[in-house]
Amino acid sequence: MKLFIYHTPELTPTDTVPDCAIAVDVLRATTTMATVLAAGGEAIQVFSDLDTLIDVSAAWDASKRLRAGERGGAKVEGFDLGNSPLDCTQTLVAGRRLFISTTNGTRALQRIQNAPAVLAAAFVNRAAAVNYLLAKQPETVWIVGSGWEGTYSLEDTACAGAICHSVLQQANIPLAELAGNDEVVGAIALYEQWQDRLVELFHQASHGKRLLRLNCDDDLKYCAQVDVLDVLPIQQEPGVLKLLG
């Protein structure tokens, strides 16, 4: 197995695909996706464009769908939800499909959607992603941070580092062999530096600061939990993610 990290969708190669690609948007899209599926959501369907989301979801029974729209960290007017995982209670989401468009996370998923296996990971379900890699042993794995409008995000790279760190500990493969690019070594170091202070790290991050300005302090605490959800969103058809199995 060789792991590669790309900090943003824009830095992700377009001329080839890996055996497995993992989108990471810790704050907050992939955390929200794992939360929805853990709470009994039927599926997640991702869109980069809000109008397309409205059109496609209109064909779905209204009692079986939820529309989530986020731009700039805030809920889009007229949508059922923004992008806070704290809103995704079992009562609300069980049995329903989440149609979601966010500023960066859903774009990251679309960028990697041609890979044969596409996963969504965050700190909350890090172990589930690692267990998948250890069980399936894909030859090449890309971990793609969502970033913010083309720029680097600390929290996504730290989470990518957490995934690599755990694979390194369990797979018995030397770092020099496991790391497909320099980003992997850097991300592991970032994670090791902050692993016991993830909320503090989020407070240093530009998108963490943006969410704090929007009074989302509790979202940051929720998203900083590690290995608390044993669920793995995996793409079943382009843009549609369900639980593995």
Question: Are the CB atoms for 107 and 9 separated by under 8 Å?
Answer: yes
Closest CA to 205 of 30, 26, 18, 56: 26
Report the distance separating Cα 181 and Cα 210, nearest Å: 30
- Residue of 32, 56, 204 lying closest to 104 (CA atoms): 32
Choose among 192, 216, 32: nearest CA to 109: 32
Q: Which of residues 98-117 bind ligand MLT (CB under 6 A)?
A: 102-105
Binding to ligand MLT by residue 83, rule CB under 6 A? yes
Q: How many residues bind ligand MLT (CB under 6 A)?
A: 13
Of 4, 29, 34, whose CA–CA distance to 19 is shortest?
A: 4
- For ligand MLT, give the closer residue by CB, 145 or 180: 145
Of these, 24, 29, 81, 168, which contacts ligand MLT (CB under 6 A)? 29
Nearer to ligand MLT, 108 or 163 (CB): 108
Residue 9 or 180: which CB sits closer to ligand MLT?
9
Decide whether 133 or 211 has the Cβ nearer to ligand MLT: 211
Q: Which is nearer to ligand MLT, 168 or 216 (CB)?
A: 216
Binding pattern for the stretch 36-75 against ligand MLT, x by CB under 6 A and - elsewhere: ----------------------------------x--x--
Q: Which of 8, 45, 57, 146 binds ligand MLT (CB under 6 A)?
A: 146
Q: How far is the CB of 162 from ligand MLT (least distance, A)?
A: 18
Taking the least distance from each CB to ligand MLT, the nearer of 53 and 133 is: 53
Q: Give the residue with the Cβ less far from ligand MLT, 10 or 19.
A: 10
Spatial separation of the C-alpha atoms in residues 83 and 70, rounded to whole Å: 6
Provide the 3-class DSSP secondary structure of residue 133. helix
Considering only residues 208 through 227, tell me which ones interact with ligand MLT, judged by CB under 6 A.
211
Minimum distance, C-beta of residue 83 to ligand MLT, in the bound complex (Å): 3
Separation in Å, CA 18 to CA 27, 59, 86, 118, 136: 25, 33, 33, 10, 14
Quick check: 166 binds ligand MLT (CB under 6 A)? no
27 is an interface residue for ligand MLT by CB under 6 A: yes
Q: Does 25 bind ligand MLT (CB under 6 A)?
A: yes
Q: In 10 A of CB 13, how many CB atoms?
A: 11
Burial class (CB in 10 A: 0-12, 13-18, 19+), 213: exposed
How many C-beta atoms surround the C-beta of residue 196 within 10 A? 8
Write out the E strands in 93-139: 97-101, 118-121
The residue number with the shortest CB distance to ligand MLT is 102
The contact set with ligand MLT (CB under 6 A) reads 25, 27-29, 70, 73, 83, 102-105, 146, 211
